[in-house]
Amino acid sequence: MLVRLFSTNTIHNHIMNPETSLTVNAGVAVIGMGYVGLPLSLQFAKSGVPVLGIDIDDSKVTRLNNGESYIRHIDSEKIREMRAGGLFEATTDFSRISGVQAVIICVPTPLSKNRDPDISYVLETGRAIAPHLTKGALVVLESTTYPGTTDENLREVIEAGSGMVAGKDFHLAYSPEREDPGNPDSKVGEVPKLVGGLTPACLEKALALYGKSLKNLVPVASCRVAEAAKLLENIFRSVNIALVNELKVVYAAMGIDIWEVVAAAKTKPFGFMPFYPGPGLGGHCIPIDPFYLTWKAREFDCATRFIELAGEINTSMPAYVVGRVAEALNHLGKAVNGSRVLVVGLAYKPNVDDERESPSYRLMGLLKERGAHVSYYDPYVPVIGMTREHAEWAGTRSVEWEESVIRSHDLVVVATAHACVDYQQLADWAACVVDTRNAMAGVKTADGKVWKA
């Protein structure tokens, strides 16, 4: 696929004209100060665009205004710099929207209990901003969602609440986030950004806004193309991860190590991209977003078999890992029931503190159901907070990384391979390790101590 990338300069030359250019002084309101909204706010402020960060969570607003970060990979110093430079303020007050020319929405888009899309946060935000929106303002949705959310659902609530017409009285666009938390090489300002507008003028206005701060903008034909492209990116990951997870099981039965296979295959310089197996999917995106499309596809009588199959395979991985735990314990003459099992890594990916949808919870739940005494170690999640999904673990604390603690367990499962963990120590101290991430590949260990899963 050929994507034409436009540099910021090209875009400025291409679209800047007196009608569409934004007054920098007016600034931008970013709604939802989470993993997406906060780094985006910092990016704008770094480029000199004043940002009003709006969130319904009082405690986040207070911490931000005190120059304090609550996301591990975001430095508090950066927030303090923005504050000191007068470029950032957080608030819960939606009436402040009347003072800005652009609003970017970065609120959650989870699945409901029945695994249907829950766009209520987006719609609530639309309703909250509508009465305060000024004529000519721009609204951009960044939350991941199904095609049609921006130009149908969000548009409807804003039009109803503001009495204005999208594309005529205010501008509307969609631009998906491509944040890669925990990847030090991923810079928000450099990742190409897709932008789709309701009308050509909406697109121009949105490009003008992002062009102030981001280097590579990719204009696309419509909001729906941008929404669909974001889903394609995440479905692509989900399907490919499912493929290697399936191959992991098949190759393991044949006595072949999937990690060695992927390492070998990826030497092919074209037509192959490596994906790695694991204990299941985690995070706010890959386990959730594909099902936004599945749901929407039903409206058009279309099946989404790849998505469903990938979901099925990925969802079965924690049970596969627990099967390997049982095998390894059995080998030691022990049962899962009554054994002390330590799960290393609660966050869903390495080097971050985000444990939403983490497969570690599923692992811990399955092990507990089978009678194991389960604890976890994660330096980035010292204590498990209260959530609707994992209420039974709320208040549970990470164990300390000490020889006596590791030795007190019958088996350790490496669920997430944080770089800060000393895997040689783990090999030396643990009686048995079930490794779902190939974290033990480079360490010296006794034969039969490490079980891949």
Ligand X SMILES: NC(=O)c1ccc[n+]([C@@H]2O[C@H](COP(=O)([O-])OP(=O)(O)OC[C@H]3O[C@@H](n4cnc5c(N)ncnc54)[C@H](O)[C@@H]3O)[C@@H](O)[C@H]2O)c1
Site residues for ligand X per CB under 6 A: 31-37, 54-57, 60, 106-109, 121, 124-125, 143-144, 177, 179, 181, 284-285
Q: Which residue is nearest to ligand X (CB)?
A: 34
Residue owning tokens 């092990």: 367
**Cα–Cα nearest to 259, from 239, 280, 245:** 245
Strand order in the sheet with 28-31: 6-7, 216-220, 193-197, 171-174, 138-141, 102-105, 28-31, 51-54, 88-91
Cα–Cα distance, 284 to 358 (Å, whole number)? 9
Does 420 qualify as catalytic in the annotation? no
Residue 81 C-beta: closest distance to ligand X, Å = 21
Residue type, position 9, single letter: N
Residue 399 C-beta: closest distance to ligand X, Å = 27
Cβ-based nearer residue to ligand X, 106 or 242: 106
Q: What is the CA radius of gyration of the chain?
A: 24
Using DSSP's 3-state secondary structure scheme, residue 450 falls into strand
Residue 362 C-beta: closest distance to ligand X, Å = 19
H or E segment to which residue 197 belongs: strand 193-197
DSSP symbols for 78-144: HHHHHHHTT-EEEES-GGGGGG-SEEEE-----B-TTS-B--HHHHHHHHHHGGGPPTT-EEEE-S-
Specify whether the CB–CB gap between 109 and 121 falls below 8 A: yes
Strand order in the sheet with 373-377: 373-377, 340-344, 411-414, 433-435, 450-452
Angle (deg, nearest 10), helices 200-211 and 8-15: 140
Residue 289 C-beta: closest distance to ligand X, Å = 6
Q: Point out the catalytic residue in the list 106, 285, 420, 432.
A: 285
Residue 343 C-beta: closest distance to ligand X, Å = 22
Cβ-based nearer residue to ligand X, 292 or 451: 292
Catalytic residues, by residue number, are 285
